[in-house]
């Protein structure tokens, strides 16, 4: 039985950046034929939008690039997530800090910023587009796509995923 690698994407409310990252990464994983080896989810550090679909602007801009977010629903990070997931990718420094506050010490090595996997020279964070215009949602997609390519490469290098 192949090992399954689990990735959780985290932003504040889980309606813009983290569901976009989940949708983009899920698409890349499927295109790579690794959907049985890599699982993805998203969550928010706050409970503002639990049960809500992604922001309409996020879903619209994602769909223009071929990503489907329609089945996603917001949820808040839970204590069990720190154990269940192999990698937890925060969208920015503030959400990383909040995750670090709640994360048990034995799981802190799993916490990263998504942009750590992006090519050098891009932003350090995936900026929150919520209060901005269309350009912000396009920038989120640009950054998420670049980082997810690196993230997939990083995960593919894991010895357990090379088997089979």
61 touches 138 (CB < 8 A): yes
Predicted confidence (pLDDT) per residue in 88-130, tens digit = 999 999 999 999 999 999 999 999 999 999 999 999 999 999 9
- Which among 11, 16, 103, 148 is annotated as catalytic? 11
When pLDDT is cut at 50, 70 and 90, the band that residue 22 belongs to is: very high
First to last CA, the chain: 9
- The helix (run of H) or strand (run of E) holding residue 82 is helix 81-84
Range of the domain at 48: 5-162
Let me know if 11 is a catalytic residue.
yes
Cα 127 to its chain centre, rounded Å, is 13
How far apart CA 7 and CA 87 sit, in angstroms, is: 5
Q: How many domains does the chain have?
A: 1
- Can you tell me the mean pLDDT for 137-156? 98
Catalytic residue among 92, 103, 128, 148: 128
Residue 9 sits in a domain of what CATH number? 3.40.50.2300
Q: Write down the pTM of the prediction.
A: 0.96
Active site residue 17: yes
Q: What is the pLDDT of residue 158?
A: 83
Please give the Cα distance from 137 to 124 (Å, whole number): 17
Question: Quick check: is 135 catalytic?
Answer: no
Given 17, 37, 57, 75, the catalytic residue: 17
């Amino acid at each position: 039985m192949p090992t399954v690698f689990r990735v959780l994407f985290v932003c504040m409310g889980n309606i813009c950046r983290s569901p976009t990252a989940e949708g983009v990464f899920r698409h890349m994983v499927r295109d790579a034929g690794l959907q049985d080896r890599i699982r993805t989810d998203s969550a928010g550090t706050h409970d503002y939008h639990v049960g809500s679909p992604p922001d309409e602007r996020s879903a619209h801009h994602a769909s223009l690039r071929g990503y489907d977010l329609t089945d996603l629903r917001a949820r808040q990070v839970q204590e069990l997530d720190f154990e269940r997931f192999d990698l937890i990718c925060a969208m920015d420094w503030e959400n990383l800090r909040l995750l670090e506050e709640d994360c048990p010490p034995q799981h802190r090595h799993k916490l990263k910023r998504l942009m750590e996997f992006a090519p050098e020279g891009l932003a350090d964070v995936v900026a929150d587009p919520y209060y901005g215009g269309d350009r912000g949602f396009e920038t989120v997609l640009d950054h998420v796509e670049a980082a997810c390519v690196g993230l997939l490469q990083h995960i593919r290098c894991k010895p357990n995923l090379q088997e089979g």
